[in-house]
Amino acid sequence: MRLIETVEGKARILLPDPSEYERDGRFDPAWSPVFYNPRMIFNRDLSVVVVSSISPKSVLDVMSATGVRGIRYYLESEVRGEIIFNDKNPVATELITKNIASNGVEKARVERSDANSLMHRVKVEYTDLDPFGTPAPFLQAAVSSLRRRGVLGVTATDLSALEGKSRNSCKRKYGAFCNKLSFSKEAGLRLLLAKIAMEASIVEKGIHPLITLYRDYYYRIFVRMEDGAKKADNTLEKIGSLYECESCGYSFMGKGFCDRVCPVCGGSLRSMYPAWIGELADVEFLGKVKELLPRFNYLENFPALFKLIGSLTSEQRYGLYYRLDVLSSKLRRNMPSMEEMIKCLGDATRTHFHLQGIKTSKEFHEVLECIKSSSHG
Ligand SMILES: C[S@@+](CC[C@H](N)C(=O)[O-])C[C@H]1O[C@@H](n2cnc3c(N)ncnc32)[C@H](O)[C@@H]1O
């Protein structure tokens, strides 16, 4: 296996030379003997900043591949406690060992276990779960691997299931009743949070979302555990349903599950259940991340990180987003510009979920009136 070196953040990582695994001039990271995906650098950059804000005394990078995440947590998040690296693939663990040594990571431990088995054996303050596709089969063990008030970082790339495009897959993996909603990017994230909350509640833990987001083709979630049966019960209170009217486009969240009609126009409702109906982030924690961000101005993604944290902070005051393109088309109007809409509504913001998405505290009829008055032609 020929190795090449890449620099990511402050780490220098050896990885299998992708050119050896190309097929018909194309390369997919999954074809390499050890997985490394440059399209996930933003995910890792953000994680480095978040882990720095959490400042955990012990870390489990349970699906390490090259070890790049855990190594960056040591070099950039300045984790000084034990970092456990794990991968079931022996080629990966051999490479992790090399990468740890060349980056001078102290207090590192390399395991070659099945992720679930290892997560049931260890207790750490931060666990990073970064699987291929769905994290569902690992969530129960991931939650169990955390010490009191520990934090779980999860990546999910199975957006077609979570967003309700593959309804059966969504049902199988998340035990959810799924539908395609116009705000599907947020719906999928809320479905995943509900799944994590339900898995946590089994072991008498509640969850408190610190930062959750959608980007490119994945979700990234950071949740703090709140220990105890009462906290778990309180968390379950934040699980409900998402609704969207097929006729007028009104959308809302509610507790429990119902198949009532649209309260605005009497049209039939599409729904998704179970979904997280609580907060998607902790504004105080976002503030802490923002304060720490300047320390990471050496990252290429620094401006994008800054923008994202800003968006997440302004979005937290509002509920579900509306799609201007969808509502304008229902009204048979040209889509107004986002600037005009925000000005007309007064209290509204763009959302990181969708370019045409808008969040507002205003009533649905006010959104429709603003589309009508701001639309040209
Ligand atoms: C998406 S990659 C992880 C990428 C890595 N975290 C990064 O940021 O570059 C998933 C890794 O998990 C490993 N893996 C998959 N299933 C596993 C399991 N059940 N137990 C342990 N490792 C597993 C794979 O071998 C692969 O290296």
pTM over 0.90: yes
- Position 242 scores a pLDDT of 96
Does 124 score more than 90 pLDDT? yes
Looking up tokens 């260890």 gives: 122
Q: What are the pLDDT digits (tens) for 154-173?
A: 999 999 999 999 999 999 99
Please, what are the domains in the chain? 321-377 (3.30.56.70)
Nearest CA to ligand 1 atom 26: 65
Pocket of ligand 1 (CB under 6 A): 35-36, 40, 44, 63-66, 68-69, 87-89, 92, 114-115, 130-132
Q: What are the pLDDT digits (tens) for 258-308?
A: 667 999 999 999 999 999 999 999 999 999 999 999 999 999 999 999 999
Does 256 score more than 90 pLDDT? no
**What is the mean pLDDT of the segment spanning 215-228?**
97
Percent of the chain with pLDDT over 70: 99
Percent of the chain with pLDDT over 90: 97
> Which residues, at least 6 apart from 169, have a Cβ–Cβ distance to it below 8 Å?
158, 160, 161
87 annotated to a ligand binding site: yes
What is the overall mean pLDDT for the chain? 96
Q: What are the pLDDT digits (tens) for 40-81?
A: 999 999 999 999 999 999 999 999 999 999 999 999 999 999
**Of 176, 174, 64, 37, residue with least CA distance to 118:** 64
**What is the mean pLDDT of the segment spanning 107-124?**
98
Largest CA distance in the chain: 65
pLDDT band, residue 356 (cuts 50/70/90): very high
In angstroms, what is the span from residue 201 Cα to ligand 1's centroid? 25
- Position 23 scores a pLDDT of 94
Q: In what order do the strands lie in the sheet with 218-227?
A: 108-111, 82-86, 58-61, 124-129, 146-156, 218-227, 205-215
pLDDT band, residue 376 (cuts 50/70/90): confident
Does 257 score more than 90 pLDDT? no
ipTM (interface predicted TM): 0.99
- Position 341 scores a pLDDT of 97
Of 50, 87, 91, 111, which is best to mutate to test ligand 1, by the most ligand atoms within 8 angstroms of its C-beta?
87
pLDDT band, residue 375 (cuts 50/70/90): confident
In angstroms, what is the span from residue 87 Cα to ligand 1's centroid? 6
